Structure 1
Amino acid sequence: MNWQPFRGHAPGNMTIYSASFPDVSDQWPMKDDVTREINALNQVMKNDPALMPPRIVENSDGQATLVPQHAWSGKVFETRPALAAWRARLVPSALALFVVQNPLEDRLPDGSRMDSESRQWFIHANDAIGVRSRARVLAALVDKYIRNDIDSDWISLASGAAIPVLEALQNAKLDGQRVHLTLVDDDAVALRWAETMAAQQGLDVGEQLTLLKRHLVHHMIRHDDLLLELGEHQAELVDALGIFEYFNDADAVVFLRRAMRLVKPGGAVIISNMLTTSPQIDFLMRCIGWDPIFPRTLQQLQDIHLAAGVPVDDVSVVVPKDGVYAVMEIRVPE
C-alpha cells in the first residue's frame, strides 16, 4: 500500500499519511442525496449544542425503547425502523458495527429487518464509511507483520465480533504460515459471533483461536492481570481498533504501555481514535446518539503516546480520506 501525503493539520514531527479505498458507497445509488441530508442535520446539531441525543428506556417487558429528545432525531428514527432498532438494541455493543461493516445484509443481528431508508444511511453516512476504511488500513498494516517466515501471534483487544481482524487475515497473502488469534472482549455474544465466523474460515478454538472474555479497564488498566495471562513479548501484533477512544487520557496511557509489553521486538500495536474533526461528528453524537467517547486531535494522540514512553520515530499515522479516524501504527523496536 502506498500512502498519500496528508494535507490536514498535524504536529510537525508526526509521520502521517492519507489513504483512500474503494467502498460500497461509491457505486450505490443515492449517495449525494444521503450525504446532503446528513450534512444538513450535522449543521443543525452544530448550531444548537442544547440538542441532546436520544435516551433508551426499558418497557415493562424489559424491551429497550428509543426516546428522541428533539424533533430532528425523532423524524430520523420514525422513518427508519431498522436504524431505530439498531440504536435501541445494539448500540453500543460490538454487534452494532456488524451492520455498518455489512450494510447489504437483509437483517440486523437482533433479527430486525433492514429497510431501504436505513440501509442508505448505513452505506453512506460518513461515520459508517470511516468504520470500513479503518478496517482497510488495519488490513494493509497487518500484512507486513503476519507475512513472515514464521508462525505469528495476533492479539485483538476489544475485538468485538472481530470482523476487520478476520477479513484482514482472510485477505493476507500467507505462504503456509499459521496465525494464532487471541480475541479479547467483554461481550460474550460478540465473541460467539466471532467464533462462528472464524470457524467459517477454518480456524479452530484452541488450535488457531483463543477467546477470552475480559474487561480491559478491570483486567488491563486498573490491574495487569491480562498482561500476566497473555505473557509479555509474545505477539507479533496487537490491535485495539475500536476501544482507544473510550478511555480517558490517563487510562489511554496505561493501556498503551501495557499493550506495548505484549508485543515482541519488531512487532506493532495498531489503534484507532475518532478525530475531533470527523465531518459528521455532531450528527453521530447528538442526533443518532452514541456512548460517550473521547474524540481527539492528532496532537492529543501524540501527547498520549509520548506520555506512554513511545517516541515519535516509532509511530506512523494514517487518516483515510473520509477523515473520521486516525489509525496509529506503534512499532516496538528490535
Structure 2
Amino acid sequence: MNWQPFRGNAPANMTIYSAAFPDVSDQWPMKDDTAREINALNQALKAEPALLPPLLESEEGGQTVLIPQHRYSEQAYRNRPALAAWRTRLVPSALALFAVQNPLEERLPEGTKMDSESRRWFIHANDAIGIRSRAKVLAAMVEKYIHNDIENGWISLASGAAIPVLEALRSAKLDGQQVFLSLVDNDPVALRWAETMAAQEGLTVGEQLTLLRRNLVHTLVRSEDLLLELGEHQAELVDALGIFEYFNDVDAVIFLRRALRLVKPGGAVIVSNMLTTSPQIDFALRCIGWSHIFPRTLQQLQEIHIAAGVPVENVTVVVPKDGVYAVMEVRV
C-alpha cells in the first residue's frame, strides 16, 4: 500500500499518512443527497452543544424503547425502523458494527428487516465509511506481519465478530503461511458469529482458532490475567481496532503497555481511535447516540503512546480520507 501525504494538523515528529479506499458508497444512488442531509443535522447539533443523545428506557415486559431528547434525533429515527432497532437492540455490542460493515444485508443480526431509508445512512454516513476504511487500513498494515514465518500468531482484542480480521486474512494472499487467531471479546453472541464466519474461511476452533470470552478491563487493564493466560511475546500481531477509544487516558496507557507485551520483537499492536475532528462527530454522538467514547487529537494519541514507553520512531499513523479514525501501528 502506498500511503499518501497527510495534509492536516499533526505533531511535527509524527510519522503520519493519509489513504483513500474504494467503498460501497462510491457509486451508490443518492450519496450526495444523504451526505447533505446528515451534514445538516451535524451542523445543527454543533450550533446547540447542550443537546443530549437519545435515552434508552425499559418498559413493562422488558422491552427497551428509544427516547429522543431533541428534534434532530426525532427526525433521524422517524421512518427508519431498522436504524431504531439497531440503536435500541445492538449498540454498543460488537454486532452493531455488522450493519455498518455489511450495509447491503437484508436484515440486521437480530432479525429486523433493513428499510431503504436506514440503508442509505448505513452506506453513506461518514462514520459508517470510516468504520469500513479503518478495516482496510488494518488489512494493509498486517501484510508485513503475517507473511514472514510459516506460522504466525494474531491476537484480536475486543474482536467482536472479527469481520475486519477475517477480511484482512482473505485479502492477504498467504503463500503457505498459517495464521493462528485468538479472538478475545466479552460478548458471547459476537464470538459465536465470529466462529461461524471463521469457519467459512476454513478456520476451526481448536486448530487455527481460539475463542476467549474475557472482559479486557478486568483481565488486561485492572490486572494482567489475560497477559499471563496468553503468554508474553507470543504473537506477531495484536489488534485492538474497536476498543481503544473506550478507555480513558490512564487506562489507554496501561492497555497499550500490556498489549505490547503480547507481541514478539518485530511485531506490532494496531489500534484505532475516533478523531475529535471527525466530520460528523456531533451527528454520531448526539443525534444517533453512539455509546460514550473518548475521541482524541493526534497530539493526544502521541502523548498516550509516549506515556506507554513507545518512542515516536516506532509509531506510524494512517488517517483515511474520510477523517473519522486514526489508525496507529505501534511496532515492537
Same fold (TM over 0.5): yes
Which residue number corresponds to residue 253 of structure 2?
A: 253
- Following superposition, the deviation at residue 249 of structure 1 comes to 0.2
User: What does residue range 83-232 of structure 1 map to in structure 2 within 5 Å?
Assistant: 83-232=83-232
1:300 aligns with 2:300: yes
**Structure 2 CA distance for aligned equivalents of residues 203 and 291 of structure 1:** 32
C-alpha contact 1:184 1:212 (8 A) present in aligned 2:
yes
**Structure 2 CA distance for aligned equivalents of residues 313 and 276 of structure 1:** 24
User: What does residue range 316-331 of structure 1 map to in structure 2 within 5 Å?
Assistant: 316-331=316-331
Query: What secondary structure does 2:25 align onto?
Result: helix
**Structure 1 CA distance for aligned equivalents of residues 86 and 194 of structure 2:** 19
Structure 1 residue identity aligned to 2:277: T
**Structure 1 CA distance for aligned equivalents of residues 289 and 88 of structure 2:** 10
Cα shift readout 1:21-54 (whole Å, capped 9, x = no counterpart):
0000000000000000000000011000121110
Structure 1 residue identity aligned to 2:242: G
**Structure 2 CA distance for aligned equivalents of residues 136 and 274 of structure 1:** 15
Cα shift readout 1:146-181 (whole Å, capped 9, x = no counterpart):
012321000000000000001101111111111000
Which residue number corresponds to residue 38 of structure 2?
A: 38
Which residue number corresponds to residue 234 of structure 1?
A: 234
Structure 1 residue identity aligned to 2:289: G
**Structure 1 CA distance for aligned equivalents of residues 58 and 89 of structure 2:** 10
Which residue number corresponds to residue 76 of structure 2?
A: 76
**Structure 2 CA distance for aligned equivalents of residues 13 and 277 of structure 1:** 20
Which residue number corresponds to residue 11 of structure 1?
A: 11
How much is the aligned-residue C-alpha RMSD, in angstroms? 0.5
- Following superposition, the deviation at residue 64 of structure 1 comes to 1.4
- Following superposition, the deviation at residue 135 of structure 1 comes to 0.1
Identity of aligned residues (%): 78
Cα shift readout 1:261-320 (whole Å, capped 9, x = no counterpart):
000000000000000000000000110001110000000000000000000000000000
- Following superposition, the deviation at residue 61 of structure 1 comes to 1.5
**Structure 1 CA distance for aligned equivalents of residues 72 and 305 of structure 2:** 39
- Following superposition, the deviation at residue 63 of structure 1 comes to 1.6
- Structure 1, unaligned runs of 5 or more: none
**Structure 1 CA distance for aligned equivalents of residues 250 and 136 of structure 2:** 29
Structure 2 residue identity aligned to 1:253: V
- Following superposition, the deviation at residue 93 of structure 1 comes to 0.4
C-alpha contact 1:147 1:173 (8 A) present in aligned 2:
no
- Following superposition, the deviation at residue 60 of structure 1 comes to 1.1
Q: Which moved more, 1:73-82 or 1:128-137?
A: 73-82
Structure 2 residue identity aligned to 1:119: R
Structure 2 residue identity aligned to 1:328: M
Aligned length: 332
C-alpha contact 1:284 1:290 (8 A) present in aligned 2:
yes
Structure 1 residue identity aligned to 2:29: P
Query: What secondary structure does 1:122 align onto?
Result: helix
Query: What secondary structure does 1:134 align onto?
Result: helix
**Structure 1 CA distance for aligned equivalents of residues 90 and 79 of structure 2:** 18
Query: What secondary structure does 1:26 align onto?
Result: coil
- Structure 2, unaligned runs of 5 or more: none
**Structure 2 CA distance for aligned equivalents of residues 150 and 237 of structure 1:** 14
User: What does residue range 267-278 of structure 1 map to in structure 2 within 5 Å?
Assistant: 267-278=267-278
C-alpha contact 2:150 2:176 (8 A) present in aligned 1:
no
Query: What secondary structure does 2:154 align onto?
Result: strand
Query: What secondary structure does 1:24 align onto?
Result: coil
- After TM superposition, the runs of 4+ consecutive aligned structure 1 residues lying more than 6 A away are none
